[in-house]
Structure 1
């Protein structure tokens, strides 16, 4: 029983002469590759599936690395802003609240050491935090931006970085 061709499919050719030519062509092709180990095709297929799945995982990692690179690129300039971070304590509090990175013995470190430690360990934060934070910091660096003004107002009112970051994460 043959199926009637649908509107979107082409009619299959079943002419015996065409089928005979196909088999002949196929046999010539197979003969030209007679030294090929056909049993290795299943291994080859498995290897290709592995490589394709690995490639998609690597692409995902590439996006995560790109987000981390953006964050690492803008963090030093952002953390050196004395309007937002007049003291080292503010930088340490921000690091803990925004990235979950606690800085030990920060009282004995210079501003540059603290910032360097944060930048070096920024990739330890979760990919979601990194993505969100890099977007927020890019917005915050706009001195006239609404996010920047809201942060400055909240900090002047005595809100901790933990409270400010929590609000920003909820709004952004």
Structure 2
């Protein structure tokens, strides 16, 4: 096989203005290959079926650039937003009340000696009866610094608020 280049120049002095072009290709047996003709059924922007599988693959051997993080934002309806706000209000109330029960000052809420109690509202809502919810909360809040009557009052208020969700 050999590589060939042909340069055409049609310099006419008549009405057929000067047209020129260059062809390149690979000759199979030392003879130049005939110039490819456009397929009559294909438009100039489409590839012929023989060239459909031709493509170039570039491999990146350098550092892989950091991928840009993608964020998805959602738009909620007014009813859904009302439910989200209600849930958030209950969770903020729960956070404030737990700080009061454990006598943690708000400015030192991240202190090393602070007791961490996790009350999961979804877990409470999944329980079958109010009695099982009360027992679960009483177990979680057994080491609260406030008196037991304050803990029971908190449990009752939390169960009332959880029923509205």
Return the TM-score normalized by structure 2.
0.25
When normalised by structure 1's length, the TM-score is: 0.24
Query: Looking at CA atoms only, which structure, 1 or 2, has the larger radius of gyration?
Result: 2
More strand by share: 2
Highest RCO, 1 vs 2 (Cα 8 Å, sep ≥ 6): 1
